[in-house]
Amino acid sequence: MAETATHAHKSPNYMAIWGWLAVLTVLEVGAYFMAPPTKWVLLVAFAVTKAALVALYFMHLRFETRTLTYIALTPLAIAVLLLLVLIPDHRYMPHHTADSLKVSAPEKR
């Protein structure tokens, strides 16, 4: 007779996780007012941490099999790859219109 193993997991403290998400949000607001190089690194780190907390606990990925976790991480890997591939295109194009090329708005009547 084969015994089936039931994997009971302890229910996470959702209020504690909500508290961490709130703290990270406050830190994000504070990081917004920092100097640009540090600001972007901190904002991305906070966003990734918050996304990981939501995925692990509210989407219950922490208690699922590894295969489902890999399936959930695949779009993240694709998004990072696309961003890395598109960075050279973003840096190549000038993003400011020369003053001689600007068109003035039509006058109001």
Q: What are the tens digits of pLDDT across the range 4-22?
A: 555 666 788 999 999 999 9
Q: Is the pTM of this model over 0.75?
A: no
Give the HSE-up count for residue 21: Cα atoms under 13 Å, Cβ half-sphere: 15
Closest CA to 19 of 73, 48, 57: 57
**How do residues 26-71 score in pLDDT, each as one tens digit?**
999 999 999 988 999 999 999 999 999 998 898 888 888 889 888 8
